[in-house]
Amino acid sequence: MLNIGIIGAGRIGKVHLQSIVYHVKDAKVKSIADPFMDGETKAFIEGMGVNEIYTDYKKILGDEEIDAVLICSPTDTHASISIEAINAGKHVFCEKPVDLTIEEIMKVKNALEGKNLKFFVGFNRRFDHNFAAIRAAVGAGKIGEPHIVKITSRDPAPPNPKYIKSSGGMFMDMTIHDFDMACFLVDSGVEEVYVQSAVLVDKAIGEQGDVDTAVITLKMANGALCVIDNSRRAAYGYDQRAEVFGSKGMVATANDTLSTAVIADENGVAGEKPLYFFLERYMQSFTKEMCDFVDAVVNGTDVPVGIEAGLQSVKIALAAKKSVETGLPVKI
């Protein structure tokens, strides 16, 4: 039985807690730490059977019975806490992005050198049933050599503009999932990035120096071309689709809905909107990634999304930001 400590009791920390309690056999959550723990959160955690609740995450790192930690704190603490945890001999599951800079991620990478510890980056979408089905079809050669990758990723509503700065902007906060997805779907790195972007959703986002709409072209290392389109606001909800086209065919996925019900009336034939946002859409993937993390630690299997993947996606995001600044394609 793996003992896990969760650092950060925000939305995603709670999701992981729930996944472990309900769905992960070989692990239990021993303790949770968060400096800002309100009563509701505390009650939720206790309701899940966790009684060691701290404000200081160092109590978790200092607990010798803890085997692994989940780092669900704000992005700018991911790298430093990761390094502390590694040095304390803990396996680490770290939410994405590992950091907004290459330098800090390299420090984490260096800390891992020579240690026999697992480091898992929380790119949960790799564990989504739809994207996993694309990857499986591509991996099985069903579409031949990949030529074109297309990812549509549109949020139902923009974040609070105040949140933009700390999140690193759209590419680091939102598109980073799509960058990782592009690499995952065709099992390849990225060589060059070009971005066409605009502020079409919310001027306040532009005033923060960020964009809210983008078409991003990637030249993949394996020769394939990739295009990602992003918007911070799709009126019909969370739009998460992907397609890989290759020498023998194409595999594509549609959005998930709450039901398959379709109503035909004098106005037309209407189905449901996509599931509302990432918690609804990707809940199963959060569970799946946690199972895989625990499996990697307990059974010594390979981590499917390690520090290299965390590094790669941030490199692409930084190149994307540079492409916006320069108006030019940027090599990685």
Q: Within 113-132, which residues bind a copy of itself (CB under 8 A)?
A: 129-130, 132
Residue 22 makes contact with a copy of itself by CB under 8 A: yes
Question: Scanning the structure block, which residue is given the tokens 């923060």?
Answer: 208
Shortest distance, position 88 Cβ to a copy of itself, whole Å: 31
Q: Are 119 and 303 in contact (CB under 8 A)?
A: yes
Separation CA 94–CA 305 (nearest Å) = 10
Residue 258 makes contact with a copy of itself by CB under 8 A: yes
User: What are 244's two structure tokens?
Assistant: 């890989």
Q: In the Cβ-directed half-sphere of 129, how many Cα atoms lie within 13 Å?
A: 8
User: Which of 9, 32, 85, 234 is close enough to bind a copy of itself by CB under 8 A?
Assistant: 234
The smaller minimum CB distance to a copy of itself, of residues 149 and 305, is found at 149
- Of 37-45, 111-119, 195-203, 304-312, the window that binds a copy of itself (rule: CB under 8 A) is 195-203
User: What are 135's two structure tokens?
Assistant: 């990857």
Residue 251 makes contact with a copy of itself by CB under 8 A: yes
Residue 40 makes contact with a copy of itself by CB under 8 A: no
Task: Specify the 3-state DSSP secondary structure of 200.
Answer: coil
User: Tell me, what DSSP letter sits at residue 258?
Assistant: S
- Of 21-29, 57-65, 68-76, 181-189, the window that binds a copy of itself (rule: CB under 8 A) is 21-29
- Of 7-15, 83-91, 117-125, 149-157, the window that binds a copy of itself (rule: CB under 8 A) is 149-157
**Residues between 49 and 108 with contacts to a copy of itself, criterion CB under 8 A:** none
User: Which of 26, 38, 145, 187 is close enough to bind a copy of itself by CB under 8 A?
Assistant: 145
User: What are 217's two structure tokens?
Assistant: 């072209």
- Of 1-9, 97-105, 271-279, 288-296, the window that binds a copy of itself (rule: CB under 8 A) is 271-279
Rounded to a whole number, what is the distance in angstroms from the first to the last CA of the chain?
Answer: 42
Nearest CA to 25 out of 293, 206, 246 is that of 293
Q: Are 45 and 66 in contact (CB under 8 A)?
A: no
The smaller minimum CB distance to a copy of itself, of residues 59 and 147, is found at 147
Residue 312 makes contact with a copy of itself by CB under 8 A: no
The smaller minimum CB distance to a copy of itself, of residues 106 and 283, is found at 283
User: Which of 35, 62, 139, 271 is close enough to bind a copy of itself by CB under 8 A?
Assistant: 271
The smaller minimum CB distance to a copy of itself, of residues 86 and 294, is found at 294
Nearest CA to 274 out of 72, 128, 95 is that of 128
Residue 252 makes contact with a copy of itself by CB under 8 A: yes
Separation CA 316–CA 330 (nearest Å) = 9
Nearest CA to 69 out of 15, 34, 31 is that of 31
The smaller minimum CB distance to a copy of itself, of residues 111 and 228, is found at 228
Residue 277 makes contact with a copy of itself by CB under 8 A: no
Shortest distance, position 196 Cβ to a copy of itself, whole Å: 5
Separation CA 197–CA 228 (nearest Å) = 11
Residue 213 makes contact with a copy of itself by CB under 8 A: yes
Residue 272's Cβ-count burial label (10 Å; 0-12, 13-18, 19+) is: middle
